[in-house]
């Protein structure tokens, strides 16, 4: 037997590389789940068939194109497509297998679509009708509302990191902030990430040292250092890359949302939601399991939804929560009705806010008719951990109209409103939101009445905004006797000073007990200029918990001759 020539060995080695190593390399890079409920799985199989077919010379890719010399020069044209498939039984069988695999995606998508399974999509969730006044008690302290959006959190987080000289040169803050309920307070957290390959290589042994926590109410950020560095992250490489570590540990799982969270002790974890179809092969993808992944040790634990620990906050992504309600709202009457007629069809607005209720994070969004106008027919709350839904039939302005009303109240400042949350003040459904400047920093808080969105109150603190809003409610005839948490005091002015801050003028009054009261000088209360040292005045105020200064919402001038 003649020895194989070096050229023959080289051809065989090349074919083996193409047929085996190339698919493995693609799998290592793109990490498709080995699960028939994933479209990526079928695309990967088609790719493997094409690569193996080329390596075994089942397909002649060179016949697809040909080069011709024309009067215009060299041109690339389509070749003889019949020659692409080589003759022979093996070639025909392999070709048909490849075509069948390729057909799975469009056929599977069609038979899994709402066209044939409208009831299946609509039945993914159960929505309970609830009473607003019962489930949403009146807000005394506006402290559980996560009004800060992610853009503002990023600004505060980056500033905090910039103050850490030993950290900022090696790491950056992740763009993906997670809203959590930490020890009863709404917080946004984001882990640090390596600032490129070189920074990962030089710091890989120590790992990522900590994370940023932003107070979504107090508008402050702090850096939290971990006792052990995180070895696994999205910015790590090779086996320490988070997605790769998860895929190798759970090769069949379809990963959906991955969020960074901390437990009640401050220990860091990644919460990985795993999806599966509820309809057909690909239809109505919903969360079925959760992986709690330790980024320090690289170990993970898989939980069914019913056993997810209570400290976990984000299992269902907010966009998925809205999408599932849209299935319910538009398809409950059948697919044809969702396209023609739209009887009873309703859908969520284009965004969502957060509420903290009973140690859980809930998504809030309005519900409007699909024949949309500028009003809501109600709103929903959806628990980010359990996927529970509640509907409240509160009719009024939709969120973007309320945001426009709040922006119009301070239009001369050019502030931009965040997406609001909903609270109960004096029995009135009320939107609450923040107003930000062009740098993304929170400047004011705004309260907008849902039913009468022309009723707008603003303040530099949530308490100050509430006091102004209660005053508006009282003027409109609403009984606020049990709702007014502002204080009242009769004082003798001992000192009066003026100060300029952020383009506004403030008057500071000091009473006989040394307490300091602040009044903004504007057209609404310009009579403050008549107050003088020694005058007796009645002040209605709230306390700023940050500075200890009392913010006056209303004052009564002394009678002449006193």
Pairwise CA distance, residues 468 & 296, whole Å? 49
Residue 262 shares a structural domain with residue 335: no
Residues 31 and 243 sit within 8 Å (Cβ to Cβ): yes
Q: Domain boundary at 267, 296, 315, which? A: 315
**Does residue 1 register a pLDDT over 50?**
no
Q: No. of H helices and E strands in the chain?
A: 14, 31
pLDDT digits (tens, 9 = 90+) for 170-208: 999 999 999 999 988 889 999 999 999 999 999 999 999
- What does the pLDDT read at residue 42? 96
Q: Mean pLDDT throughout 324-338? A: 94
Same domain, 240 and 307: yes
Domain-terminating residue out of 315, 345, 373: 315
**CATH number of domain containing 498:** 2.40.50.140
Q: What are phi and psi of 170, to 5 degrees?
A: -115, -20
Please report whether residue 551 resides in a domain: yes
Same-domain check for residues 463 and 533:
no
* Higher per-residue pLDDT: 204 or 463: 204
CA distance 45 to 43: 5
**Residue 400 near residue 410 (C-beta atoms within 8 A):** no
Q: Are 171 and 303 found together in one domain? A: yes
List pLDDT tens digits, range 233-286.
999 999 999 999 999 999 999 999 999 999 999 999 999 999 999 999 999 999
Asked if 289 and 275 count as a contact pair (C-beta separation under 8 A), the reply is no
State the CB neighbour count (10 A cutoff) for residue 46. 19
Of the listed ranges 22-36, 112-126, 243-257, 480-494, the least confidently predicted one is 480-494
Handedness of CA 294, 300, 305, 309 (dihedral sign): negative
- Do β-strands 65-70 and 73-78 pair in parallel, antiparallel, or remain unpaired? antiparallel
Give mean pLDDT, residues 79-101: 68
For the segment 78-91, the average pLDDT, to the nearest whole number, is 57
What's the pLDDT score for residue 5? 65
Q: Are residues 169 and 61 part of one domain?
A: no
The two tokens of residue 90 are 């093996």
Rounded CA gap, 24 and 48, in Å?
A: 9
Residue 157 to residue 222: CA distance in whole angstroms: 8
Residue 227 in any domain: the answer is yes
- Do the domain assignments include residue 119? no
Report the percentage of the chain scoring pLDDT > 90. Answer: 48
Average pLDDT score over the chain = 86
- Residue 181: inside a domain: yes
Together in a domain, 387 and 404: no
Same-domain check for residues 149 and 266: yes
Confidence check: pLDDT of 8 > 90: no
Scan for tokens 């300029």, then name that residue.
500
Q: What is the pTM of this model?
A: 0.81
543: nearest Cα among 481, 463, 446: 463
Residues 6+ apart with CB under 8 A from 526: none
CA distance 270 to 235: 14
Q: What is the CB-side half-sphere exposure of residue 314 using CA atoms within 13 A?
A: 29
Q: Name the CA radius of gyration of the chain, rounded.
A: 31
Please check the confidence at residue 559 and state whether its pLDDT lies above 80: no
At residue 27, the 3 state secondary structure works out as: helix
Q: Any idea what the Cα angle at residue 378 is, between residues 376 and 379, rounded to 5°?
A: 105
> For the residues 213-237, what does the mean pLDDT come to?
91
Rounded to 5°, the CA angle 468-472-478 comes to 125
Contact 423, 432 (CB under 8 A): yes
Render pLDDT for 395-436 as a digit per residue (tens, 0 to 9): 888 899 999 999 998 888 889 998 888 888 888 899 999 899
% of the chain with per-residue pLDDT over 70: 86
Specify if 57 maps to a domain.
yes
484 contacts 538 by C-beta, under 8 angstroms: no
Joined tokens for residue 169 = 């040169």
Q: What is the pLDDT of residue 191?
A: 96
- Please tell me the total count of domains within the chain: 5
- Token pair belonging to 447: 């309260």
Higher pLDDT, 146 or 79: 146
- 102, part of any domain: yes
pLDDT digit string, tens, across residues 474-529: 888 776 665 555 677 888 999 999 988 766 788 999 998 888 988 888 777 788 88
Q: Looking at the structure, do residues 89 and 189 belong to the same domain, yes or no?
A: no
Question: Which pLDDT does position 562 carry in this prediction?
Answer: 46
Kindly state the average pLDDT of the residues 459-472. 82
Residue 281 and residue 349 share a domain = no
Last residue of a domain, one of 299, 315, 331: 315
Distance of alpha carbon 28 from the chain centroid: 29
Q: Is 300 a domain residue? A: yes
365: three-class secondary structure by DSSP: strand
pLDDT digits (tens, 9 = 90+) for 135-175: 877 766 565 577 778 888 888 898 898 888 778 889 999 99
Residue 120 lies inside a defined structural domain of this protein: no
**CA distance between the termini of the chain:** 125
Residue 308's domain comprises 145-315
pLDDT number for residue 202: 94
Whole-angstrom distance, CA of residue 399 vs CA of residue 401:
5
More confident of the two residues 281 and 560? 281
Q: Say yes or no: 160 and 220 in one domain.
A: yes
Q: Considering only residues 446 and 525, tell me which one the structure prediction assigns the higher pLDDT.
A: 446
Spatial contact of 77 and 68, defined as CB atoms under 8 Å apart: yes
Residue 82 pLDDT exceeds 60? no
Residues 381 and 297 grouped into a single domain: no
Question: Does the pLDDT value for residue 91 go beyond 80?
Answer: no
Same domain, 383 and 408: no
């Amino acid at each position: 037997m003649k020895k194989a020539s070096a050229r023959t060995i080289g051809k065989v080695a090349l074919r083996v590389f193409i047929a085996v190593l190339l698919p493995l390399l693609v799998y290592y890079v793109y990490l498709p789940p080995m699960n028939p409920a994933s479209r990526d799985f079928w695309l990967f199989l088609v790719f493997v068939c094409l690569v193996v077919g080329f390596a075994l010379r089942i397909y002649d890719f060179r016949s697809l194109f040909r080069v011709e010399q024309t009067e215009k020069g060299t041109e690339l044209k389509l070749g003889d497509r019949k020659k692409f498939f080589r003759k022979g039984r093996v070639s025909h069988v392999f070709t048909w297998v490849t075509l069948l695999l390729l057909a799975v995606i469009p056929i599977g998508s069609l038979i899994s679509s709402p066209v044939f399974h409208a009831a299946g999509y609509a039945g993914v969730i159960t929505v309970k009708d609830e009473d607003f006044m019962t489930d949403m008690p009146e807000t005394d302290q506006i402290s559980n509302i996560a009004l800060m959006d992610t853009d503002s959190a990023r600004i505060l987080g980056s500033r905090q990191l910039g103050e850490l000289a030993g950290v900022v040169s090696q790491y950056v803050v992740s763009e993906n902030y997670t809203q959590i309920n930490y020890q009863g307070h709404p917080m946004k957290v984001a882990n640090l990430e390596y600032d490129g390959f070189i920074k990962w290589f030089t710091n890989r042994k120590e790992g990522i040292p900590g994370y940023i926590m932003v107070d979504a109410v107090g508008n402050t950020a702090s850096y939290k250092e971990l006792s052990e560095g995180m070895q696994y992250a999205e910015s790590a490489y090779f086996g320490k890359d988070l997605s790769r570590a998860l895929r190798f540990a759970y090769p069949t799982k379809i990963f959906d949302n991955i969020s960074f969270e901390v437990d009640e002790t401050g220990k860091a974890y990644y919460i990985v939601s795993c999806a599966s179809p509820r309809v057909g092969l690909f239809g109505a993808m919903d969360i079925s399991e959760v992986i709690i992944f330790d980024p320090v040790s690289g170990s993970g634990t898989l939980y069914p939804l019913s056993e997810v620990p209570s400290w976990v906050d984000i299992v269902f992504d907010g966009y998925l929560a809205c999408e599932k309600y849209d299935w319910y709202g538009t398809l409950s009457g059948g697919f044809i009705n969702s396209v023609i007629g739209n009887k009873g069809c309703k859908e969520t607005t284009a965004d969502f806010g957060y509420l903290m209720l009973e140690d859980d994070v809930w998504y809030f969004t309005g519900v409007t008719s699909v024949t949309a106008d500028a009003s809501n027919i109600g709103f929903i709350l959806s628990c980010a951990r359990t996927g529970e839904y509640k509907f409240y039939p509160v009719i009024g302005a939709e969120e973007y109209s309320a945001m426009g009303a709040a922006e119009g109240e301070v239009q001369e400042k050019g502030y931009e409103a965040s997406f609001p949350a909903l609270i109960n003040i004096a029995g009135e459904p009320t939107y609450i939101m923040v107003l930000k400047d062009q740098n993304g920093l929170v400047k004011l808080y705004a309260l907008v009445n849902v039913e009468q969105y022309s009723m707008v109150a603003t303040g530099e603190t949530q308490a100050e905004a509430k006091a102004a809003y209660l005053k508006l409610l009282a003027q409109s005839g609403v009984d606020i006797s049990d709702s007014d948490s502002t204080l009242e005091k009769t004082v003798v002015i001992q000192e009066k000073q003026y100060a300029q801050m952020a383009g506004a003028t403030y008057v500071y009054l000091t009473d006989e007990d040394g307490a300091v009261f602040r009044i903004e000088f504007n057209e609404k209360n310009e009579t403050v200029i008549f107050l003088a040292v020694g005058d007796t005045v009645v002040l209605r105020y709230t306390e700023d918990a940050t500075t200890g200064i009392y913010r006056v919402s209303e004052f009564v001038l002394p009678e002449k001759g006193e």
